[in-house]
Amino acid sequence: MKTARIRIKMCGTTNLADAMVAVEAGVDTLGFIFYEKSPRNIDPEAARIIIEQLPPFVDTVGVFVDRDREEVEEIIRYCRLGYAQLHGLESPKYCERLARFAPPCQVLKALRVGDHTRAEDIEPYHEHVKGFLLDTYQKDKVGGTGKRFDWSIIKRLNLKKTWILAGGLDVDNVAEAVEAVAPYGVDVNSGVEKRPGEKDHDRIRSFVRRVRDLEQ
């Protein structure tokens, strides 16, 4: 089945070698996790060094979890990030203020999707964010679970902004995901890793090829 162009984001970037392989393979966007509890956490200085060496037209996303807004703004400016992806309990007001005071960086709100997820809880965010990232809900984890959620839940969320699908995607299930729910983009992390924070270059290439094959 032919689809429109699907944006590919690879999250959990921690080193230049992984970043360059991803870009050369055709990944559109690289994600950098600024969350100390994550095994894929990266220091802003290290992220900045990688970002400075990327070619043109590669988007960059900083992933944050309930961090002080001024600290997020500082990292955005220092690393020259294009997007801030918020994975915690950040309020709609937090999102609105971040979008206002950290331009041209744009705000994405991550939603941890499970049986409890309701459209009315998401509604207040619509006017303050550029889009959503849908990840898998797992108690005591804010993302990076490596598990997929029930994609049928998406229909009842009444999303009015562009959204990106995450949660346990890999080369074996990404085609099924795209055909089932037609996301604007897909986000891969553990599905292309050897171990947390270290990517498998062959898996990156295979994942990108699989997605691009859907567009033929």
For 21-49, what is each residue's pLDDT tens digit? Answer: 999 999 999 999 999 999 999 999 999 99
% the chain with pLDDT above 70? 95
Residue 140: pLDDT band (50, 70, 90) is low
Please measure the distance between the N-terminal and C-terminal CA atoms of the chain and give it in whole angstroms.
8
pTM for this one? Answer: 0.95
Residue ranges in the chain assigned as alpha helix (H): 16-25, 44-52, 69-79, 92-101, 119-122, 174-181, 201-213
In this predicted model, what pLDDT tens digit does every residue of 157-216 receive, in sequence order? 999 999 999 999 999 999 999 999 999 999 999 999 999 999 999 999 999 999 999 986
Cis peptide before 104 (omega within 30 of 0): yes
**Tokens at 214, concatenated:** 């859907």
Per-residue model confidence (pLDDT) at position 1: 56
Q: Has 79 been annotated as catalytic?
A: no
Per-residue model confidence (pLDDT) at position 88: 95
Task: State how many domains the chain has.
Answer: 1
Per-residue model confidence (pLDDT) at position 138: 72
**Tokens at 115, concatenated:** 């049986």
Assess if residue 154 is contained within a domain: yes
Q: Has 11 been annotated as catalytic?
A: yes
% the chain with pLDDT above 90? 90
Assess if residue 30 is contained within a domain: yes
Residue 30 · residue 213 · CB < 8 Å:
no
Assess if residue 149 is contained within a domain: yes
Among residues 11, 79, 95, 105, the one annotated as catalytic is: 11
- Tell me, what CATH number does 81's domain have? 3.20.20.70
Query: Alpha-carbon Rg of the chain, whole angstroms?
Result: 16
Range of the domain at 70: 7-213
Average pLDDT over residues 94-115: 94
Q: How far apart are CA 97 and CA 69, in angstroms?
A: 9
Size (the chain), residues: 216
Assess if residue 1 is contained within a domain: no
50-57: long-range contacts, CB 8 A cutoff, minimum separation 24: 50/13, 50/15, 50/16, 50/19, 51/79, 51/80, 51/81, 53/16, 53/19, 53/20, 54/19, 54/23, 54/30, 55/23
Average per-residue pLDDT for the chain: 94
Residue 105 · residue 64 · CB < 8 Å:
no
Q: How far apart are CA 77 and CA 75, in angstroms?
A: 5
Per-residue model confidence (pLDDT) at position 215: 87
Number of H helices, E strands in the chain: 7, 10
Among residues 18, 79, 105, 135, the one annotated as catalytic is: 135
> Taking the CB of residue 155, how many other CB atoms lie within 10 A of it?
9
